[in-house]
Amino acid sequence: MTESDMEDDYLDMEDISIAGPMKMAHFELPRAKELRGAFKRCLREYYVSRMAGNLEVRGLVVTGESRVGKTREMKKLIGDFNKSETLMPDGRPGKIVSCLLSGRVTYKDLGIATLKALGYDIQGTRTQVYIWERVLFQAEQQGVIGIHYDECQHVFRDGGKTNQHFLDSFKSMMKETRWPLMMILSGVPSLNKYIRSHEQLDNLVEPVRFHEINVKRDEEYLARLLYLYADQVEINIEQLVTQDFLTRLDYACSHRWGLVIELLIETLIEAKLKKKKQLRAKDFAKEFALKTGTREKYSPFTAPDFREAFDSQKLLELQG
């Protein structure tokens, strides 16, 4: 067997050709408009403040349960803004960088992560003060006007002694006289209680909440989402999209938009590889079983009494 043959065993180019366009597709929900509106207001305040020589700018706090699609929407928003090359009062295109936080984070760790997002590597032996001075210097040099901290709840602890320091620092970065930075903080709903505990910071940020799926409210958008992805691979779903199926899909994915999209994409990839023209509930049941380790013949897609048979929170845990 040649080296090329071995690679083909691990990498299926047909699979990739199907998955690629769907992974890159973006379905805009009403929340995207709300987020974009809040961002534009913050950007306007930044622009006006810099023109007037004011000392503070504003920011955003974006919250929602895990897997509702916060990160996906934030990447789209920030990516679109950076590509737009919108000129700021200093004549340079404004930029925003993102940091994904995980586990326990110290203020020094946050500074190092921020510098990496700015494309600047630094030794961890440097002092905290030096690290944050470099953050400010690099941001100004590069025309970076904002920093997005994703999963920002990780910097806080209930009763934590460092909470106040983080909160003061976020406020100070928006009030920095040399180069103020727009703070965009996103995370689970518990993030809100920490932000609200600091009155000055709370007054500088606009909250945006990402809600879970509510079938009664979101049935139309859920159906349109299925059609968007199915149309990309030319698979018929006319007979599948019923109120009963949408309710089962929502429940199986624990009311999370992100999980719905992941399951939908994997189901469509498998169906396309098998040359199927019509998608059925059993196709979802099979992919759901593979993803969660549950039985294909007994799932939220097949059980008559699925609400009684399955606990939504446990289904969420099974899907990581």
Q: Residues 190-227: pLDDT tens digits? A: 999 999 999 999 999 999 999 999 999 999 999 999 99
Q: Which of the two residues, 148 and 320, has the higher pLDDT score? A: 148
Q: Report the number of distinct structural domains present in the chain.
A: 2
Out of 210, 230, 250, pick the residue that ends a domain.
Answer: 210
State how far the Cα of 230 lies from the Cα of 279, in Å rounded to an integer. 9
Domain span at 141: 30-210
Whole-Å CA distances, 218 to 104, 140, 212, 249, 306: 36, 42, 10, 13, 20
Instruction: Taking residues 179-188, report their average pLDDT.
Output: 96
Question: Do the beta carbons of residue 73 and residue 80 sit within 8 Å?
Answer: no
Out of 177, 210, 243, pick the residue that ends a domain.
Answer: 210
Ramachandran bin of 55, using left for φ above 0, alpha for ψ from -120 to 50, beta for the remaining angles:
alpha
Q: Indicate if the pLDDT at residue 309 is higher than 80.
A: yes
Q: How many H-runs (helices) and E-runs (strands) does the chain carry? A: 15, 5
Binned at pLDDT 50, 70 and 90, residue 8 comes out as low
What is the value of pTM for the model shown?
0.89
Out of 144, 175, 210, pick the residue that ends a domain.
Answer: 210
- 256 and 203 belong to one structural domain: no
Question: Do the beta carbons of residue 118 and residue 142 sit within 8 Å?
Answer: yes
Instruction: Taking residues 178-193, report their average pLDDT.
Output: 96
Tell me which residue has tokens 């199926």: 245
User: What percent of the chain clears pLDDT 90, i.e. is strictly above it?
Assistant: 79
- 95 and 233 belong to one structural domain: no
Instruction: Give, to the nearest 10 degrees, the angle between helix 163-175 and helix 107-117.
Output: 40
Q: Indicate if the pLDDT at residue 1 is higher than 90.
A: no
Query: Is residue 19 domain-resident?
Result: no
Instruction: Taking residues 299-307, report their average pLDDT.
Output: 92
Query: Is residue 20 domain-resident?
Result: no
- Which residues 6+ apart lie within 8 Å of 49 measured at CB? 55, 56, 57, 180
Q: What is the pLDDT of residue 230?
A: 94
Instruction: Taking residues 64-88, report their average pLDDT.
Output: 95
- Which residues 6+ apart lie within 8 Å of 201 measured at CB? 167, 168, 170, 171, 195
